[in-house]
Amino acid sequence: MKLNADLVIIGGGPAGVTAAIAAKDRTGKIILIRKEKKALIPCGIPYIFGTLRSPDKDILPDKLLDGVDLIIDEVISINRRLKTVTTLEGKSIKYKKLVLAVGSTPVIPRVRGVELKNVFAIKKDIDHVKKLKSALKNSKDLVIVGGGFIGVEFADECRKMGMNVTIVELLPHCLFTAYDKEFCIRIENKLREAGVKIITGRGVKSILGRNEAEQVELSDGKRLRADAVIMAIGVAPNTELARESGLKVDEKTGIHVDKYMRTIDKNIFAVGDCAEKFSFFTRKPLNLRLSSIATNEARIAATNIFEPSIKNEGVIGVFSTKVDDLCISAAGLTENAAKRCGFDVVVGEAVTVDKHPDSMQEAREIKVKLVFDKKTKRILGAQVCGGITTGEIGNILAVLIKNKATAEDIKTLQIGTHPALTPSPIRYPIISAAENALKRDEKNG
């Protein structure tokens, strides 16, 4: 079967769907090809187990693709000379422009026993998730290898199922690549209060058992009971299809793209987890893969399909998560990361409550930490923890970072407040933290 389209998109996750939506008014016929009959919402996968209770409640709705031809199939080759893609079921589709949004694959550590039954990586596949859910339902002791966002969120959800959950993290703290130590400790304390055990500074040596997982052996020889093991140590970009078509790729960083999200073939774009990333602050390669980054890249690519006009300014890195009732968010560089990048920094902090007066119902403490370049006073990063408003405060701070706001700019922000919705304007935490940074800088000369 031969088909034609102005734009072909390979991949039906957040990046592919966003590219299709953003391109609707910019081009003619669009075909999106994905392997899965139903596409999961990646960020929602941990919440299938304790909150949503079913994978069917975490589906990316196909109605978003109204006006786009959806094909359930797998692309097995790209002919750049003929500008065609070929699928597993024998379809040949000719394109004018092509977007690769083929995602990533979980990293599986090379340790003995990873092939045993009840050892799982987190795949964005509904059948796989159903198998994992079934295995966890019949398990008592769960070991999660990796204390990043996926590991922490799975731990919080699975303990709601009544399981004995242990996180094993090689770094000194969970979430240590995204937050400074004091914020990591808050999350770890909340997890421990909820009954989750945390072991840091140690890796996994092997997984023991005859046919299925029974124990996890750590690098120091300690053994943990494990009816099930979840591997959550990161992902690697899917580059095979691009490499076989002659595009420039790096197995670790992804498909090479320019500032317009184009590959070395100007008719082919790459977005999302499969594409290279670079830092907004240093312009150096960055191994960070998030749905929020993927959708941003997809919008940039869709805008540039026939006439390059918007540049990718690099990855800021904006994170949010929640453990029990504690929410935590971050944008940009942590204090430690900024110093590693060579910045001389000044930090401002503020602690207040998210409503006013403090006696308002459901008022929660909120802490904000801002990191500034000491020389220019430009904001480099921010971290927030507190109640349910934390995630959106992190997003606001990401806007300030992208626009290179200074401490003085933030100090004079114009804001709106309401007793039930926001902190007091007298001690609004973002403004107070900027004022605190300026005072510290003045005091220290």
Residues pairing with 3 in the sheet: 93
Residue 27: what pLDDT?
Answer: 87
Residue 445: what pLDDT?
Answer: 66
Q: Which residues of the chain have pLDDT under 50?
A: none
What is the Cα–Cα distance from 109 to 206, expressed in whole angstroms? 10
Residue 290: what pLDDT?
Answer: 93
For the chain, the 3-state helix, strand and coil shares in percent, each to the nearest 5, are 30, 30, 40
Residue 52: what pLDDT?
Answer: 86
- If you count DSSP H runs as helices and E runs as strands, how many of each does the chain have, helices first? 11, 24
Residue 1: what pLDDT?
Answer: 78
Contact 324, 156 (CB under 8 A): yes
Residue 172's CB is within 10 A of a number of other CB atoms, namely 10
Residue 303: what pLDDT?
Answer: 95
Residue 318: what pLDDT?
Answer: 96
Residue 25: what pLDDT?
Answer: 83
Residue 249: what pLDDT?
Answer: 97
Domains and CATH numbers, the chain: 2-104+236-303 (3.50.50.60), 108-233 (3.50.50.60), 326-444 (3.30.390.30)
User: 280: which residues sit within 8 A by CB, 6+ positions away?
Assistant: 313, 314, 315, 316, 317, 332, 401, 402
What is the Cα–Cα distance from 290 to 319, expressed in whole angstroms? 9
Residue 17: what pLDDT?
Answer: 97
Contact 18, 295 (CB under 8 A): yes
